[in-house]
Each structure stands twice: as structure tokens, then as C-alpha cells.
């Protein structure tokens, strides 16, 4: 046996390569497929076409011009309605338990004569913020993620991508962007990671930069609260949940509209280029495996996202408490900053407190509402638990001077503003570029400022506010 | 005190190793000088391949440099042993030619990469490659070549020099030397001068397209691909290189693009378009879109695009642009 060195093999390959015909790769794949076909013919027997016919019928319905779009909206509305109605009661129950525990622990610390600032920092700052995040986020996620995974398992989501592709094509983006957007409803950071399914770098960047325009689970509570308190309260109580869900769906549709608009602008400016190859597999419908859905959506998604939110909410809670308890002149630091931000907030149809809440909530959007409430009530800590919608309405309208414009603009701002810290980090990790991470902040925040400013100015000009 | 700190900070900012302003500036100047040398080498090689000689004037014109700078540049290159001057003629030395071929290879491999993998529009790849061709070492270039699957031609049909510096000349001739009415395939679009190239692209003519000359007069050429007619000035037309149709073309003659199949029509895949290379071709093949496969449209989006096709038992959605690149024979 001769002694063959690796380099000899490489040299031989190098020499042989010149003799290859140009289409040899096609030939290799072709022979692989014909071999696979041969094996399949021997091993696979098709008993009946029943399943195939059924799939075809369903496909006709969900992609038809008449029923396709309505079914899509219905599904979206249904998932959101389930989340809105189902999450309400468990949220309050979890809240009651956690806040009661906090009260008990605070009393315990007081009885031990622990200095007030330690008690306050731990129980009114860090713990209360965690309690809020868990009670506000856990129930909606525990409903939303399984419902979403159900649709995913069913094989319905690729059909949505198929239905919406023409819109994405028009805006110079990839049809699979609808899948990453759908993921973004759960968590924008997850949506950004999901853009890996788009192979063209240009279209993937568009999907990354616009993912934030679909509201994530952390922002849904804000939208749901505003929709319930300000919009749905004008209707009879029996309709509340439907009106609230409808309003949220409307906000979501506005977000999708902005996704298309921004994709279109990006693909004609900084990310110029033609639509690339679009191939999308539409898998056969499958009976969802409920056990697996519950497991993956609760453990992999809900607990994962919740844990991440808790990690960011804890320091944010500490900062809120510090701001609210460090004196500045005859008031506290939080109040001073809010007053300073107020003129700019008013210009956008919001106010200084809302802007400060959003600055503090950069790590996690879930704590926007509790932070706002805390500052409005003037308490040195976040208030305990979600109260009834009448209380919230009274507090915001009579206490804080909100109008319908404030509520609408807050919904718009919540929909359009910058990604949370985790999403920004994820964008950096996925693109390996601070430039794109910065761009993602600039375009979202720019859009949010511009849109809220325009609606506020229009409303004021027309005398509505 | 404040001033001392400011001065120290300024000194650190300027002289800091690797990321200080001075080093950055030096690197920038170094890169700029290298780019200029490489562009000059390319110009000389280009001229030599056309059988003409480069002169300081032609070089100054191409690089857009003043005379004094050209003289300076040429002196530099001569001391580096890259060129020789004989009278006003400039010649590449063996070393100069090796380097020039390296740059050309880098340029064409970059074009291949940008077109196939990054899928940038064809009219932008030349300028982008122009910027990137100076940045890779020989080893990196070999890696890029291997990753691209050792392509032999760039997207314009120009041959890519091998790593030993050999060039396999493109067959094909300018369309101005072709007989009217004989079908031919576009094998190369000369991308310089840019203006002529832009004009060719603007008409919609593209590489790999099959055409015939239907009218030839001293002031214009009319070409046809069977559907559209293209009018060009002879000076522009001479930048289009063509050759006789390859064998496989005859098969394609009886085939139609996939998107033309009507709803109840089945087709057998004949071939994938030659314009589809790199990533997109691999994706098509991976999905099982190989010649001989039976395929038929099954679902249609409300707006007609995309359509989903049944192939090998799975349902695959393709946009019209993709379906236009797959040729099928209705059965």
C-alpha cells in the first residue's frame, strides 16, 4: 500500500475538477432523487387519496379570494379575544396572591426594624416590579402561545404567508416575513431570531428592522387595558371583551400596515434591491398534538420569555423605586424628570409621565402601565395589582387629565416605539452590527414620534382635543 | 489641570496603537495607495489583452488622475518591479501581471458571489465588486472560489482567471459579426464602457438570452427574442457577444416557462434556466425540481401570484419570477 498524503488527494481532486461538465451538480441531485424515488416506490404504498382530497378542499377555502382573508382576520381576532377574556381573571388571582405576599413580607421586615430604604428597595422596588410582570404577562402568554402553536402545528401559518405574499412582494420583502411577524406577536426578540428562515440577507434585514411593528406580548397588556378602559367602556358590558379584542385587532392591523410601509421604504432606499427567490413549502395539514403543544409553548416559550422579562424587570423596578424616592428639591427625581419631559410629551399628545415610563421600561415593556400608575398616584412605589377598569378610568381621566387623544396616541406609541433592550441585543447578535441595531431604534422611534405628533396636531387643529 | 488632561486625552486619541487616529489615517492612505496601484495594473492588463499598449495618458484618463500624480504612481510601480516603461509604452512585468490577474480574479469572483449568493441586481454588482476587489488576500480568494463551487465565468460571461493565472478566453463574437436570422445566444455583455452596458440592460437584453438579428442597417440593429424587439445603435450592439445555441437549447424550444401552465395542465420539467445559478439553483434542486419531474399548479393566490405547485407529493409555492425560470413540457 502506497503512502497517500491528504495533499495528494486534494491535488488529484483539483486536477479532476477541470474535466467536470458545468451541469454536474444538477446531475448529482437528479441521480439522488431518482435513487430515492426507486426506494420509495418499493417501500411506500398509498392506500387512499382521502387525506389528500381533504387537504385540497381545505386549501381551496383558506386561500380563496372570498373566504381566505376573512378566515385570516377571524383567526387573529379569535386568538386575541381568547387572550383578552381568558387572561383577565387569572391575572387578578395571581396578582392578589403575589401582592399579598409582598405586603406580608414588608410587614415582616418592618417588625424586624429593617431600615425603611432596604425594605422599600427590595419589596416596593424589585419585588413589586417582578410581581407585576408575572401577573400581567404570565396568563396572556400561557393562552396566546399555545393558541399560536396550535395554528402553527395545524399547518395554517404557511397558508397565511402564501395569502399575504403579494403584499410583501409589492413592498420588496419576502413572503416568509409573515411567519416571522406572527412569531413577533409572542416576542419580538423571538421574531428577530425567526428571520433566519429568510435566506436573502437584504430581505432578512427588512424583516428584522420591521418586526417591532407587531406588538409583542409585553405590549398587549397596555393595548388591552387601554382598549378596555377607553374604547370598550362606551359599550354595554356584555360586549366589552369583543370590542376590546376588536380594538386590539385594529391596532395590530395598523401595525401590519406600518410593516408594509416601512418595508417598502427600506427596499427603495437603504436596502435597495429586487425581490429574491421565493420558495415556500405548504406542508400537509396535521392533527395537532395537544400534549406537545402545551409542553413546548409553556416550557420553551412562556417560561423562557417570562424568565427573560423577570431578569430585566427586577433592575427596572429598582430604578423606579430609586427615582421615586430620591428627593429633588421639594419633590422626587421621577416627578422632576416627568415635569421636564412634559412639554415634549404634550407635543406628541402624551405627557411627561408616559415618556418617563417608556424610558424606564426600555428593558421590558411590561412595566409601562404599573410605572405610569405609580407616578400618577404619587406613591413612592408601584400600586398593588390591576384594579377595576372604572378605577383606572377615573385615575387617568380625572387624576392625570387624559383625553381620548392621550389613550389613542399611547396605543400608537406603544405599537410603534423602539424595541425593548432584549430585542435590540438580539438584533445586534443576529446582524453582528451596531449600525443595524441603531437603525432599528431610529426608524421605530422616529415613526412613533412622527405619527403621534401628526395625530395630536391633527386632533388639535380639528378641535377634538 | 483640565488642560493637562485634555492634552493627554488628545495625545492618546491620536497616537493610540491600532485604533488611534494616526494609525487609522495611515491605514486609510495605505489602502488608497494599494487601490490605485491595483487599478493601474488592471488598466495595463486590459490594454494588453486588447492588443494595445497603455500609456501614461490612457492611465491618467482611466484613473482620473493629474499628470504629476500619474508620473509619481508609475515611478512607484517601477521601483516595486510591477511595470516597465519602453518609451511611452507601459508594460507589465511577470510580477505585475500576476498581481493584475489576482485583482481581476477577485473582481469576477466577487461579481459571482454578489449575483448568486447575495442576489444583488445585475446592474449594481460591477460597482460593488470594484470596491471589494482590493480587500482579499490570495488565500481568502481561494476560499471564496471553493465556496462558490469553482465557477469559470462571472455573471457577464467573462472568464475568471484560475489561481495559476490562466484565462480561458470566452468564445463568442460581437453581434456585429453575426449573420442576420441565425439564432444565437448572448454569452457576454461587455460591462465597460458603463454607459453602453447600462443602455443594453435598459433595453431588457440579458445574459443567456436567445436572440436573432432581424434588421441590420448602418445606424441601427434590431434584435428579437421571439416576443420583444430590441433596438440598438451599432456602437452599443458591438458590446454584445454571442455564440451559436448549445445542444440543450433545442429541448427548451418546445418547453414553456412553468407559470404558463394552466390550472388543469401537467408538465414535465425540462431544464432550469441557465441564468439561475448559485443559491437559487441549489434551492430549486433541493426541492426536487430536477429535469424529468412531473409538476402541476394546484393553488392560486387571490392575485394570481404566487401559485403553489404539486411536485413529488408536496406543495411548493413559487412566485411568478421563479416559475419563469423553470422550463416545462406540457403533458
pLDDT tens per residue across span A379-400: 655 555 555 667 777 778 777 7
Same domain assignment for residues B283 and B215: no
Q: Is residue A55 part of a domain?
A: no
Contact between B159 and B99 (Cβ < 8 Å): no
The x, y and z cell numbers of residue B9, run together, are 486625552
Q: In chain B, what residues touch A69 (CB-CB under 8 Å)?
A: 302
Nearest to B301 among A26, A34, A162 (CB): A162
CA distance, residue B42 to nearest chain A CA (Å)? 26
Q: Which of A245, A298, A223, A297 is nearest to A85 (CA)?
A: A245
Q: Which residues of B126-165 are buried (b: 16+ CB within 10 A; e: fewer)?
A: beebeebbbebeeeebeebbeebebbebbbbbbbbbeeee
Contact between A29 and B286 using a beta-carbon 8 Å cutoff: yes
Q: In chain A, what residues touch B292 (CB-CB under 8 Å)?
A: 30, 34
Task: Write down the pLDDT at residue A436.
Answer: 92
Chain A residue with minimal CA distance to B283?
Answer: A279
What is the rounded distance in angstroms from the CA atom of residue B248 to the CA atom of residue B254?
A: 11
Q: Which long-range contacts (CB under 8 A, 24 or more apart) does A442-447 make?
A: A443/A209, A443/A262, A444/A212, A444/A213, A444/A416, A444/A417, A444/A418, A444/A419, A445/A417, A445/A418, A447/A258, A447/A262, A447/A416
Same domain assignment for residues B82 and B8: yes
User: Pairing state of beta strands B210-217 and B184-189?
Assistant: antiparallel
Tell me the pLDDT tens digit for each residue of B5-58. 899 889 888 888 777 888 888 888 888 888 888 888 888 888 877 767 788 888
| Tally of domains within chain B | 3
Nearest to B150 among A17, A60, A283 (CB): A17
Same domain assignment for residues B14 and B83: yes
Specify the higher pLDDT residue, A51 or A118: A118
* Overall average pLDDT of the A406-429 stretch: 90
Q: Is residue A202 part of a domain?
A: yes
If you average pLDDT over each of A368-372, B170-174, B267-271, B303-307, which comes out highest?
B267-271
Choose the mutation target among B185, B290, B297 for the interface with A, i.e. most A CBs under 10 Å.
Answer: B290
Same domain assignment for residues B23 and B46: yes
Q: In chain B, what residues touch A166 (CB-CB under 8 Å)?
A: 301-303, 305-306
Task: Write down the pLDDT at residue A450.
Answer: 94
What are the beta bridge partners of residue B268? B294, B329
Contact between B279 and A202 using a beta-carbon 8 Å cutoff: no
Instruction: Give the lowest-confidence range in A41-45, A131-135, B251-255.
Output: B251-255
Q: Is residue B227 part of a domain?
A: yes
A residues 155..184 contacting B (CB < 8 A): 158, 161-163, 165-166, 169, 175
* Overall average pLDDT of the A393-419 stretch: 86
B193: preceding bond cis by omega (within 30 degrees)? yes
pLDDT confidence bin for A414, thresholds 50/70/90: very high
Q: Which of B235, B188, B179 is nearest to B212 (CA)?
A: B179
pLDDT at residue A257 greater than cutoff 90: yes
The x, y and z cell numbers of residue A202, run together, are 437584504
Contact between B316 and A281 using a beta-carbon 8 Å cutoff: yes
Chain B residue with minimal CA distance to A279?
Answer: B318
Q: In chain A, what residues touch B288 (CB-CB under 8 Å)?
A: 33
The Cβ-side half-sphere exposure at A458, using a 13 Å CA radius, reads 9
A residues 40..69 contacting B (CB < 8 A): 56, 59-60, 63-65, 68-69
Contact between B314 and A283 using a beta-carbon 8 Å cutoff: yes
Tell me the pLDDT tens digit for each residue of B250-260. 667 778 889 88
Task: Write down the pLDDT at residue A464.
Answer: 72
Q: What is the mean pLDDT of chain B?
A: 83
**Chain centroid offset of residue B275 CA:** 12
Domain boundary (B92, B122, B153) is at B92
The x, y and z cell numbers of residue A131, run together, are 410581581
Q: Is residue A226 part of a domain?
A: yes
Helix (H, G, I), strand (E, B) or coil at A397: helix
Contact between B308 and A60 using a beta-carbon 8 Å cutoff: no
Task: Write down the pLDDT at residue B23.
Answer: 85
Contact between A72 and A256 (Cβ < 8 Å): no
Q: Which long-range contacts (CB under 8 A, 24 or more apart) does B56-64 make?
A: B56/B88, B56/B90, B59/B90, B63/B36, B63/B39
Task: Write down the pLDDT at residue B169.
Answer: 60
* Overall average pLDDT of the A146-166 stretch: 88
Nearest to A166 among B279, B298, B303 (CB): B303
Contact between A165 and B121 using a beta-carbon 8 Å cutoff: no
Chain A residue with minimal CA distance to B163?
Answer: A14
For the beta carbon of residue B202, count every other beta carbon within 10 angstroms: 9
Q: In chain A, what residues touch B284 (CB-CB under 8 Å)?
A: 279
Domain boundary (B46, B73, B92) is at B92
* Overall average pLDDT of the B124-130 stretch: 85
Domain boundary (B184, B209, B243) is at B243
What is the rounded distance in angstroms from the CA atom of residue A453 to the CA atom of residue A460?
A: 10
Q: In chain A, what residues touch B303 (CB-CB under 8 Å)?
A: 166
pLDDT at residue B165 greater than cutoff 80: no
CA distance, residue A189 to nearest chain B CA (Å)? 25
Q: What count of CB pairs under 8 Å joins A to B?
A: 112
Task: Write down the pLDDT at residue B236.
Answer: 84
Task: Write down the pLDDT at residue A99.
Answer: 86
Scan for cell 378602559, then name that residue: A229
Q: Is residue A8 part of a domain?
A: no
For residue B227, the domain's CATH number is: 2.30.30.90
Nearest to A276 among B119, B152, B298 (CB): B119
Contact between A68 and B302 using a beta-carbon 8 Å cutoff: yes
pLDDT at residue A261 greater than cutoff 90: yes
Same domain assignment for residues B300 and B221: no
Task: Write down the pLDDT at residue A449.
Answer: 94
pLDDT confidence bin for A428, thresholds 50/70/90: very high
Q: Is residue A300 part of a domain?
A: yes
pLDDT confidence bin for B168, thresholds 50/70/90: low
Q: Is residue B58 part of a domain?
A: yes
Chain B residue with minimal CA distance to A274?
Answer: B121
What are the beta bridge partners of residue B186? B242
Helix (H, G, I), strand (E, B) or coil at A30: helix
Single pTM value for the model: 0.76
Q: Which of B327, B172, B183 is nearest to B251 (CA)?
A: B327
Same domain assignment for residues B258 and B321: yes
What are the beta bridge partners of residue B315? A282, B310
A residues 180..199 contacting B (CB < 8 A): 199
Instruction: Supply the DSSP string of B16-30, one letter for each residue.
Output: -TTTSHHHHHHHHHH
* Overall average pLDDT of the A328-350 stretch: 86
Q: Is residue B270 part of a domain?
A: yes
Choose the mutation target among A52, A271, A279, A280 for the interface with B, i.e. most B CBs under 10 Å.
Answer: A279
Same domain assignment for residues B12 and B80: yes
Nearest to B306 among A56, A69, A278 (CB): A278
State which residues form the domain around A99: 68-279+287-461
Scan for cell 468564445, then name that residue: B171
* Overall average pLDDT of the A36-41 stretch: 90
Q: What is the mean pLDDT of chain A?
A: 85
A327 in contact with B at a CB cutoff of 8 Å?
A: no
Contact between A162 and B306 using a beta-carbon 8 Å cutoff: yes
Tell me the pLDDT tens digit for each residue of A172-198. 888 899 989 988 887 888 889 889 888
Share of chain A above pLDDT 70, in %: 95
CA distance, residue B7 to nearest chain A CA (Å)? 30
State which residues form the domain around B179: 173-243
B299 in contact with A at a CB cutoff of 8 Å?
A: yes
Scan for cell 412531473, then name that residue: B294
What is the rounded distance in angstroms from the CA atom of residue A139 to the CA atom of residue B158?
A: 62
What is the rounded distance in angstroms from the CA atom of residue A458 to the CA atom of residue A408?
A: 13
Task: Write down the pLDDT at residue B246.
Answer: 63
Q: In chain A, what residues touch B282 (CB-CB under 8 Å)?
A: 25
ipTM over 0.90: no
Contact between A200 and B150 using a beta-carbon 8 Å cutoff: no
pLDDT at residue B172 greater than cutoff 90: no
* Overall average pLDDT of the A245-270 stretch: 91
Contact between A17 and B293 using a beta-carbon 8 Å cutoff: no
Q: Is residue A428 part of a domain?
A: yes
Same domain assignment for residues B8 and B88: yes
What is the rounded distance in angstroms from the CA atom of residue A255 to the CA atom of residue A249?
A: 10
pLDDT at residue B106 greater than cutoff 60: yes
Same domain assignment for residues B80 and B20: yes
Task: Write down the pLDDT at residue B51.
Answer: 67
Tell me the pLDDT tens digit for each residue of A294-320. 888 887 778 877 887 788 778 888 888
* Burial (0-12, 13-18, 19+ Cβ within 10 Å), B174: middle
Q: Is residue A39 part of a domain?
A: no
CA distance, residue B300 to nearest chain A CA (Å)? 7
Contact between A246 and A77 (Cβ < 8 Å): yes
Q: Is residue A115 part of a domain?
A: yes
Contact between B187 and B172 (Cβ < 8 Å): yes
| Tally of domains within chain A | 1
Task: Write down the pLDDT at residue A1.
Answer: 57
Q: Is residue B278 part of a domain?
A: yes
Q: Is residue B180 part of a domain?
A: yes
The x, y and z cell numbers of residue A256, run together, are 401590519
Q: Is residue B199 part of a domain?
A: yes
A268 in contact with B at a CB cutoff of 8 Å?
A: no
Q: In chain B, what residues touch A281 (CB-CB under 8 Å)?
A: 287, 314-317
Q: Which of A125, A186, A155, A190 is nearest to A63 (CA)?
A: A155
B287 in contact with A at a CB cutoff of 8 Å?
A: yes
Task: Write down the pLDDT at residue B322.
Answer: 86
Chain B residue with minimal CA distance to A20?
Answer: B150
Contact between A275 and B321 using a beta-carbon 8 Å cutoff: yes
Contact between B120 and A273 using a beta-carbon 8 Å cutoff: yes
pLDDT confidence bin for A275, thresholds 50/70/90: low
Tell me the pLDDT tens digit for each residue of A73-126. 898 889 888 887 888 788 888 888 988 898 899 899 989 988 888 888 888 888
Amino acid at each position: 500500500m502506497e503512502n497517500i498524503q491528504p495533499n495528494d488527494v486534494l491535488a488529484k481532486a483539483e486536477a479532476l475538477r477541470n474535466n467536470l461538465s458545468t451541469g454536474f451538480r444538477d446531475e448529482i441531485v437528479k441521480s439522488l432523487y431518482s435513487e430515492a424515488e426507486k426506494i420509495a416506490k418499493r417501500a411506500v404504498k398509498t392506500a387512499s387519496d382521502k387525506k389528500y382530497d381533504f387537504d385540497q378542499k381545505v386549501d381551496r377555502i383558506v386561500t380563496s379570494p372570498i373566504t381566505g382573508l376573512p378566515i385570516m382576520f377571524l383567526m387573529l381576532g379569535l386568538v386575541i379575544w381568547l387572550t383578552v377574556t381568558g387572561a383577565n381573571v387569572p391575572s387578578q388571582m395571581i396578582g392578589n396572591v403575589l401582592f399579598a405576599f409582598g405586603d406580608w413580607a414588608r410587614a415582616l421586615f418592618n417588625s424586624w426594624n429593617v431600615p425603611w430604604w432596604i425594605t422599600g428597595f427590595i419589596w416596593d422596588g424589585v419585588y413589586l416590579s417582578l410581581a407585576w410582570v408575572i401577573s400581567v404577562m404570565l396568563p396572556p402568554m400561557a393562552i396566546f402561545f399555545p393558541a399560536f402553536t396550535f395554528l402553527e402545528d395545524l399547518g395554517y401559518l404557511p397558508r397565511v404567508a402564501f395569502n399575504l405574499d403579494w403584499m410583501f412582494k409589492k413592498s420588496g420583502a419576502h413572503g416568509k416575513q409573515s411567519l416571522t411577524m406572527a412569531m413577533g406577536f409572542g416576542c419580538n426578540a423571538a421574531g428577530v431570531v425567526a428571520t433566519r428562515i429568510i435566506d436573502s440577507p437584504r430581505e432578512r434585514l427588512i424583516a428584522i428592522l420591521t418586526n417591532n411593528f407587531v406588538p409583542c406580548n409585553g405590549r398587549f397588556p397596555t393595548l388591552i387595558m387601554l382598549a378596555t378602559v377607553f374604547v370598550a367602556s362606551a359599550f354595554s358590558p356584555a360586549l366589552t371583551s369583543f370590542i376590546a379584542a376588536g380594538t386590539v385587532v385594529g391596532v395590530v392591523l395598523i401595525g401590519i400596515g406600518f410593516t408594509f410601509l416601512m418595508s417598502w421604504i427600506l427596499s427603495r432606499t437603504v436596502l435597495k434591491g429586487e425581490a429574491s427567490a421565493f420558495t415556500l413549502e405548504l406542508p400537509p395539514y396535521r392533527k395537532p398534538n395537544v400534549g406537545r403543544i402545551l409542553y413546548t409553548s409553556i416550557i420553551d416559550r412562556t417560561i423562557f420569555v417570562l424568565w427573560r422579562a423577570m431578569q430585566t424587570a427586577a433592575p427596572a423596578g429598582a430604578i423606579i423605586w430609586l427615582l421615586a424616592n430620591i428627593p429633588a428639591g421639594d419633590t422626587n427625581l421621577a416627578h422632576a424628570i416627568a415635569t421636564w419631559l412634559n412639554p415634549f410629551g404634550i407635543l406628541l399628545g402624551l405627557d411627561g409621565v408616559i415618556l418617563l415610563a417608556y424610558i424606564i421600561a426600555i428593558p421590558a415593556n411590561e412595566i409601562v402601565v404599573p410605572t405610569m400608575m405609580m407616578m400618577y398616584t404619587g406613591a413612592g412605589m408601584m400600586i398593588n395589582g390591576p384594579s377595576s377598569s372604572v378605577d383606572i378610568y377615573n385615575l387617568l381621566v380625572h387624576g392625570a387629565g387624559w383625553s381620548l387623544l392621550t389613550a389613542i396616541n399611547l396605543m400608537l406609541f406603544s405599537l410603534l416605539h423602539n424595541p425593548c433592550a432584549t430585542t435590540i441585543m438580539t438584533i445586534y447578535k443576529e446582524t453582528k452590527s451596531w449600525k443595524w441595531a441603531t437603525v432599528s431604534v431610529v426608524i421605530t422611534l422616529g415613526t412613533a414620534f412622527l405619527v403621534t405628533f401628526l395625530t395630536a396636531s391633527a386632533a388639535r387643529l380639528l378641535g377634538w382635543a | 489641570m483640565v488642560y493637562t488632561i485634555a492634552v493627554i486625552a488628545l495625545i492618546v486619541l491620536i497616537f493610540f496603537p491600532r485604533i488611534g487616529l494616526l494609525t487609522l489615517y495611515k491605514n486609510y492612505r495605505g489602502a488608497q495607495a494599494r487601490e490605485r496601484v491595483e487599478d493601474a495594473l488592471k488598466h495595463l492588463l486590459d490594454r494588453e489583452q486588447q492588443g494595445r499598449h497603455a500609456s501614461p495618458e490612457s492611465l491618467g484618463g482611466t484613473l482620473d488622475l493629474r499628470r504629476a500624480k500619474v508620473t509619481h504612481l508609475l515611478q512607484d510601480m517601477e521601483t516595486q518591479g510591477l511595470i516597465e516603461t519602453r518609451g511611452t509604452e507601459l508594460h507589465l512585468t511577470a510580477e505585475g501581471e500576476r498581481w493584475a490577474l489576482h485583482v481581476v480574479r477577485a473582481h469576477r469572483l466577487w461579481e459571482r458571489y454578489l449575483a448568486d449568493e447575495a442576489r444583488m441586481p445585475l446592474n449594481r454588482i460591477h460597482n460593488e465588486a470594484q470596491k471589494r476587489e482590493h480587500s482579499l488576500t490570495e488565500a481568502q480568494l481561494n476560499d471564496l472560489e471553493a465556496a462558490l463551487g469553482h465557477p469559470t465565468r462571472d455573471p457577464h460571461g467573462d472568464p475568471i482567471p484560475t489561481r495559476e493565472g490562466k484565462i480561458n478566453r470566452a468564445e463568442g463574437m460581437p453581434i456585429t459579426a453575426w449573420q442576420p436570422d441565425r439564432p444565437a445566444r448572448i454569452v457576454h455583455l461587455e460591462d465597460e464602457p458603463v454607459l453602453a452596458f447600462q443602455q443594453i440592460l435598459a433595453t431588457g437584453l440579458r445574459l443567456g438570452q436567445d436572440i436573432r438579428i432581424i434588421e441590420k442597417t448602418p445606424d441601427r440593429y434590431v434584435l428579437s427574442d421571439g416576443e420583444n424587439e430590441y433596438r440598438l445603435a451599432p456602437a452599443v450592439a458591438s458590446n454584445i457577444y454571442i455564440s451559436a445555441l448549445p445542444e440543450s437549447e433545442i429541448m427548451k424550444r418546445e418547453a414553456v416557462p412553468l407559470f404558463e401552465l394552466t390550472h388543469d395542465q401537467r408538465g414535465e420539467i425540462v431544464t432550469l434556466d441557465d441564468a439561475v445559478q448559485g443559491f437559487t439553483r441549489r434551492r430549486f434542486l433541493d426541492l426536487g425540481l430536477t429535469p424529468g419531474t412531473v409538476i402541476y399548479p394546484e393553488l392560486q393566490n387571490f392575485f394570481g401570484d404566487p401559485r403553489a405547485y404539486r411536485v413529488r407529493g408536496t406543495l411548493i409555492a413559487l412566485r411568478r419570477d421563479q416559475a419563469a425560470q423553470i422550463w416545462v413540457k406540457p403533458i
